[in-house]
Amino acid sequence: MKNGVKMLDIARKLNVSVVTVSNALGGRDGVSDEMRQKICETADKMGYKPSNTKSGNKSGFLPRMGKNIGILTSERFVGSRGTFYWELTANISNRLSQMNLTTVYECIGRESEKLAVIPNMIAEKKVDGVFVIGQVHRNYIEMLSRIDIPMVFVDFYDCRYNVDSVNSDSFNGGYLLTDHLISRGHRDIGFFGNFNATSSINDRFLGYLKCLIENNIPYRRDWTLDDRDDMGILYSDIHFPDDMPTAFVCNCDETAFRVISALRTKGVRVPEDISVVGYDNYTVSNICIPAITTIEVDIDRMSESSVELMVRKLSTPGYSEGRRIIIGKLIEKNSVFDISSSV
Give yes or no: residues 160 and 309 share one domain.
Answer: yes
Residues 92-131, buried b or exposed e (16+ Cβ, 10 A)? Answer: bbebbebbbbbbbebebeeebbeeeeebebbeeeebbbbb
Quote the pLDDT of residue 18.
Answer: 82
| pLDDT, tens digit (0-9, with 9 covering 90-100), for 6-58 | 888 888 889 888 888 887 887 666 778 788 878 888 887 888 876 544 433 33
Give yes or no: residues 115 and 140 share one domain.
Answer: yes
Query: Pseudo-torsion of CA 91, 94, 96, 102, nearest 10°?
Result: 120
Residue type, position 197, single letter: A
Query: In CATH, what number is assigned to the domain containing residue 22?
Result: 1.10.260.40
* Measured distance CA(200)–CA(111) in Å, rounded: 23
Give yes or no: residues 290 and 178 share one domain.
Answer: yes
Give yes or no: residues 179 and 240 share one domain.
Answer: yes
Quote the pLDDT of residue 253.
Answer: 95
* Measured distance CA(38)–CA(19) in Å, rounded: 15
DSSP-derived 3-state class of residue 261:
helix
Name the residue range of residue 17's domain: 1-63
Give yes or no: residues 176 and 293 share one domain.
Answer: yes
Give yes or no: residues 238 and 249 share one domain.
Answer: yes
CA-to-CA dists, residue 138 to 67, 116, 143, 148, 251, angstroms: 28, 9, 9, 18, 20
Give yes or no: residues 338 and 218 share one domain.
Answer: yes
State the Rg of the chain over Cα. 23
Quote the pLDDT of residue 342.
Answer: 66
Phi, psi of 235 (to 5 degrees): -70, 150
Give yes or no: residues 246 and 338 share one domain.
Answer: yes
Q: Kindly tell me if the per-residue pLDDT of 150 is higher than 90.
A: yes
Question: Maximum distance among all alpha carbons in the chain?
Answer: 74
DSSP-derived 3-state class of residue 245:
coil
Q: Pick from 40, 63, 86: which residue ends a domain?
A: 63
Residues 222-239, buried b or exposed e (16+ Cβ, 10 A)? Answer: ebbbebbeeebebeeebe
Between CA 212 and CA 284, with CA 136 as vertex, the angle to 5 degrees is 60
Quote the pLDDT of residue 66.
Answer: 55
Work out the pLDDT band at 189, boundaries 50, 70, 90.
Answer: very high
Quote the pLDDT of residue 179.
Answer: 98
Total structural domains in the chain?
Answer: 3
Give yes or no: residues 257 and 268 share one domain.
Answer: yes
CA-to-CA dists, residue 34 to 24, 63, 213, angstroms: 10, 21, 52
Q: Kindly tell me if the per-residue pLDDT of 343 is higher than 60.
A: no
Least confident segment among 35-39, 85-89, 276-280, 326-330: 35-39
Per the CB < 8 A criterion, the answer to whether 69 and 129 are in contact is: yes
Quote the pLDDT of residue 192.
Answer: 97
* Measured distance CA(187)–CA(216) in Å, rounded: 9
Give yes or no: residues 204 and 234 share one domain.
Answer: yes
In the chain, alpha helices (H): 7-14, 18-25, 33-46, 84-98, 110-115, 120-123, 138-145, 170-183, 199-214, 253-265, 284-287, 299-315, 339-342
Give yes or no: residues 72 and 182 share one domain.
Answer: no
Q: Kindly tell me if the per-residue pLDDT of 335 is higher than 70.
A: yes
Q: Pick from 63, 83, 110: which residue ends a domain?
A: 63
- Asked if the peptide bond before residue 271 counts as cis, ω within 30 degrees of 0, the response is yes
Give yes or no: residues 315 and 179 share one domain.
Answer: no
Query: In CATH, what number is assigned to the domain containing residue 191?
Result: 3.40.50.2300
* Measured distance CA(188)–CA(175) in Å, rounded: 15
| pLDDT, tens digit (0-9, with 9 covering 90-100), for 210-256 | 999 999 999 999 999 999 877 677 888 899 999 999 999 999 999 99
